[in-house]
Amino acid sequence: MPTTRPRHQVTETDELAAALDKAERRWPGLSRGQLIARLALEGDREHEDDVNRRLAAIERFAGACTGAYEPGYLEAVRQGWPD
């Protein structure tokens, strides 16, 4: 199929073949090339999901230690540091 988009050549190693066989059970009827594209897009979505989960955890725990140290604690610790 003619295209102006870049094309990529991938060698089907044993590991890739196993991943494609597994993907074929998940998305039957797709060609090996279509499965590679689907897996690449799926990995990108999983990365986004991981980032969103981490950001949600940061927001959920932000300020959890507020009040754990008395006012001036950090300055008192720094007084013992060498100049």
* Predicted confidence (pLDDT) per residue in 45-72, tens digit: 888 889 999 999 999 999 999 989 999 9
Phi (first) and psi of residue 65, to 5 degrees: -100, 10
The pLDDT, as a whole number, for residue 37 is 93
pTM for the whole structure: 0.55
Amino acid at position 45, single letter: R
Are 40 and 29 within 8 A, CB to CB?
no
Domain ranges of the chain: 14-64
